[in-house]
Amino acid sequence: MKSYIIFSSREPFLIVARGTIHDNEVVEHLRQIGCTKFISREVPIAHIRRQYGRRFEVTEEALRDSGILRVLDYSGERVFQNLPFSEFGGAYRCEPAAARA
């Protein structure tokens, strides 16, 4: 299980995924919820677990039951307050093929 902060055309949000951001299933699920072009940065699960407590546990349980990913936090302001930049991993960029042409 991995967690990522996603920067898209809307405000940042935090996800928890079964796989990595490089997995086609994860990227496809993000596309299905309207996130077609984004930059992501991994955030250590241990830090997310500490910061979000019970909210993380509920999300983790729902993810185990079904699905590829779950959005843990839609509030960009709260995500930024809870996650220091020093915790962010390397950047991963994703954009539709048409945008790269």
Three-class DSSP category at 76: helix
Confidence (pLDDT) at 61: 92
Task: Give the predicted TM-score (pTM) of the model.
Answer: 0.89
Distance CA 8, CA 15 (A): 13
Q: What residue spans define the domains of the chain? A: 2-100
Distance CA 38, CA 50 (A): 26
Residue 86 DSSP symbol: G
**Are 27 and 19 within 8 A, CB to CB?**
no
By the 10 Å C-beta count (0-12 exposed, 13-18 middle, 19+ buried), 45 is classed as middle
The model's confidence at residue 58, banded by pLDDT at 50, 70 and 90, is very high
Confidence (pLDDT) at 98: 55
Confidence (pLDDT) at 56: 95
Positions of E strands within the chain? 2-7, 13-17, 38-43, 69-73, 91-94
